[in-house]
Structure 1
């Protein structure tokens, strides 16, 4: 089906019909208006059009770059949905339908000469763009170079890097370009495979050696599931940060927005070089990087039934080229030599050298967010057995920047504002948004897909059908924060939570519509009555540390409130 909606379909049909003598008569969109006169023009873009043997996502994005338009502006220019343009960026080898090819032909033919010249240069640099099922190694570099020159998110990261490394404007762009030219994509893929073999336990143990034993009331979270399973994590916490039983409603969930004090993020040559290398690898591997706003934790005060504290607003690119590098540095060191990995971590020595620096969130960039174990009531079944809760676990995609290819609970997201800085500072606001995005398919609130242009994205009239059903039935949806911790791996703050849907009718109505988004490679389901299988799950070394933290705290709380739907062994925690 053509990804057009409403009158767009009529406009596209008229454009297609023009060669048959039916000119497009609508002037609702620039491209369609030009269709009316295309037969009368000399086709000033025809010479450039000869370079395109068939439109792909790659060449469509090159045309957008030549026009210097955002996703929204380019979609409006063509008279199509923003989602379609976003899809071209996600899959550069995608071959648009015939009708869409016509629209792109017309846009190119009617482009002003400077635009046509820029387009010719872009596709010339990338090589002749022909449809293909999968990208080749030869295509990877031109795609990355095109993105280096046109992606505003990469541009924002480069500008930030120049400023904080004390470089002349443009220096980081040249640095990244040079690194990109030297990168071996095959070696990056091999490194990703090596990283995938580093398990959760190894990460926790090496970080334990780096930071030493507990300091005062702070220590690493360790839990026992039953009598034979012990789980050690990299989550720094303390006894009064656990078992919070905090309802995620306004009267209990009270993080407040304040002005963030500027952290000292000046970069020395080594840190700047590692940041530039991260950007080059992001381009080479086609990883998404979006300069979205993030909440930065400035102070926290949590206790039983209460979350208080303050947050400021920072930018994702600052996090991506500083604190987010710590995970890769550590895992690469473990993959090389786990025994000595804790002795050669220069970035960690700079950004997060000891427990005091981890706890002092007001003096560093501390991003993070909530993640929740989701438990949905199911009725008894003659095939499955007694009434229970279905528990959802995700396998993270390789396209995410952190916890890639790890197990995690779902939903999981960065704590960030959408449109209301004050109201969105509540932890529950992020969890409700993540439910819509990661479980119920609301990609219009996915900040990696397009700009947020709706005044109230979570207005009842815009909610998905499953979420609206939950909001309209008081008492059905229960959301609690089960703890708080600081992740030694990244420095991130973590709010493990539990989402419980207690009405069996929800699963009967909407269970088939629960589907993970692009951040997941797949979903698994477990029964709250299957203690043996859940024990195996806890022992799985593929977990992210924060995911295991949230799973254990969620299961512990579910065992307290779930009644006969839950059959689990005791879960006890310690702070080491």
Structure 2
């Protein structure tokens, strides 16, 4: 291509993608208006003016060798013709993300590398797949998926993973007069009722490795990853390639949370282990038989209980979630003093447990700025409280890059969290158990957060507001035994959410005194 005369809007966008620049940064480096760059995305056949082509020539000449290699790959004849056809049928918002979102670009690089593809191949594959997606089909699939409830998932996985052995089994519980709940969380009696206060001496997860798993993808797995990225763009789902802790060793005991962690990236989880849930739910939604040999991704990534328990030999990401109980004073319209219990409906824009019930806060266990200090569960729960309950967007890694050295410094805390942190004992956090979720192999640390001072609710109850990860937020009284019994039996729960709810209620019943009137809950481990 003669660059002084051959630039088009599409090729300019390819240069932008190769340089991994946003519209704003690309425009600023060229010295042009952002709307000009946006116009190239909307009309890829546009031919810039000669003086603009000279600017693009110069930018390409000054690009790094790696960026030039990416540009050449994106503009090879086979790629260029196919991509041009695909991009014309994709929404402008999706095209913009396709070309400028550094997280999507990072996902393309990861996929090219792990699938053994030439640079630029993943972008072409996703562009082509994106052009074929029918949003109505995705919405219909979403409706079918919504009809597959927590019990169906738990029962299907119970059939898939039989004969666990070693004392491990799925977490189940009997509650109230005749209620029964069974989850997909693989646990062990030694991992339950830990009662571990999340303070330094009891909260002892440590980082022992910064390596990632990095397993190669076969053709089937790579195709699923392409589909996941195309759907992410089509549906506007947030994907941020942030660092993520992965569990490499388990050492739980009563009163103590311990084990070892390594590091991975969120994109590796999103394009591998997190695909297992969709594969399973889609099979259940159409009535397909589920068992070994029927789910290709699961058969490869998590084929049996031994693979589930081998956390050091696979990518085991996960997080912590907690039942939040906030003391309220007696009130004439409501009744005696109690705890308000918070439950969220997850939004459709999250990667994990979309459109299901969960306790709040709930978050992936991931570092912010201090890899070793942030390895403690308490660090993640405090951050998630700030983000999901108290409205701090600057600690949400999906919204902004973290540039502050200590984002959880006392001077930066929200007013509610600062009040809780001022005096010891105002905020109590415990880990109530541990398990490995058979849905995607995730580690789950259920917890209980208790605020006993009624003054907190009087001061800040009106300020509590769920963030974008929630579709809705509901409150329950710890004195309303009947309603909470019905809540436990709701089929809309995520499995990890139900696990955390049951363990949290068990512990709250022990310590809540006159503020609680909760159903009896007795757990069992089902092999």
Q: Describe the SS at the equivalent of 2:91.
A: helix
Distance in 2 (alpha carbons) for counterparts of 1:538 and 1:180: 39
Tell me which residue corresponds to 1:57.
none
Tell me which residue corresponds to 1:191.
141
Distance in 2 (alpha carbons) for counterparts of 1:113 and 1:307: 55
Tell me which residue corresponds to 1:479.
429
Distance change in 2, residues 1:343/1:435 (3 Å): same
Distance in 1 (alpha carbons) for counterparts of 2:18 and 2:116: 31
Mapped contact 2:359–2:497 kept (Cα < 8 A): yes
Tell me which residue corresponds to 1:34.
none
Distance in 1 (alpha carbons) for counterparts of 2:45 and 2:264: 35
Mapped contact 2:20–2:101 kept (Cα < 8 A): no
Give 2:94's match in structure 1, choosing from 138, 144, 156: 144
Distance change in 2, residues 1:126/1:406 (3 Å): farther
Distance change in 2, residues 1:523/1:113 (3 Å): closer
Distance change in 2, residues 1:170/1:529 (3 Å): same
Distance in 1 (alpha carbons) for counterparts of 2:424 and 2:89: 53
Distance in 1 (alpha carbons) for counterparts of 2:39 and 2:425: 59
Q: CA deviation at 1:143?
A: 2.1
Distance in 2 (alpha carbons) for counterparts of 1:393 and 1:419: 29
Taking structure 1 as the reference length, the TM-score comes to 0.79
Q: Describe the SS at the equivalent of 1:494.
A: strand
Deviations 1:492-529 (A, max 9, x none): 00000000000000000000000000000010000001
Tell me which residue corresponds to 2:477.
527
Distance in 1 (alpha carbons) for counterparts of 2:127 and 2:22: 23
Deviations 1:434-465 (A, max 9, x none): 00000000001000111000110000000000
Tell me which residue corresponds to 2:259.
309
Tell me which residue corresponds to 2:118.
168
Mapped contact 2:328–2:338 kept (Cα < 8 A): yes
Tell me which residue corresponds to 1:493.
443
Tell me which residue corresponds to 2:173.
223
Give 1:408's match in structure 2, choosing from 339, 358, 378: 358
Distance in 1 (alpha carbons) for counterparts of 2:479 and 2:36: 65
Deviations 1:215-256 (A, max 9, x none): 221100001111211000000000000000000010100111
Tell me which residue corresponds to 1:25.
none
Distance change in 2, residues 1:126/1:188 (3 Å): farther
Q: Describe the SS at the equivalent of 2:363.
A: coil
Tell me which residue corresponds to 1:3.
none
Give 1:270's match in structure 2, choosing from 220, 237, 244: 220
Mapped contact 1:147–1:283 kept (Cα < 8 A): yes
Mapped contact 1:126–1:143 kept (Cα < 8 A): no
Tell me which residue corresponds to 2:321.
371
Taking structure 2 as the reference length, the TM-score comes to 0.86
Q: CA deviation at 1:169?
A: 1.0
Tell me which residue corresponds to 1:233.
183
Mapped contact 2:90–2:131 kept (Cα < 8 A): no
Give 1:123's match in structure 2, choosing from 42, 45, 49: 42
Q: Describe the SS at the equivalent of 2:482.
A: helix
Q: CA deviation at 1:145?
A: 2.1
Q: CA deviation at 1:114?
A: 9.6
Quick one: higher RCO (CA 8 Å, sep 6+), 1 or 2?
A: 2
Tell me which residue corresponds to 1:463.
413
Mapped contact 2:22–2:100 kept (Cα < 8 A): no
Tell me which residue corresponds to 1:286.
236
Give 1:564's match in structure 2, choosing from 491, 506, 514: 514
Question: Does residue 256 of structure 1 match 2:225?
Answer: no
Tell me which residue corresponds to 1:324.
274
Q: CA deviation at 1:197?
A: 1.0
Distance in 2 (alpha carbons) for counterparts of 1:347 and 1:339: 15
Unaligned runs of 5+ in 1: 1-60, 78-106, 128-137
Deviations 1:379-419 (A, max 9, x none): 01111011000000000000001100000000000000000
Mapped contact 1:206–1:342 kept (Cα < 8 A): no
Tell me which residue corresponds to 2:311.
361
Q: Describe the SS at the equivalent of 1:554.
A: helix
Tell me which residue corresponds to 2:367.
417
Q: CA deviation at 1:566?
A: 0.6
Mapped contact 1:222–1:233 kept (Cα < 8 A): yes
Question: Does residue 297 of structure 1 match 2:247?
Answer: yes
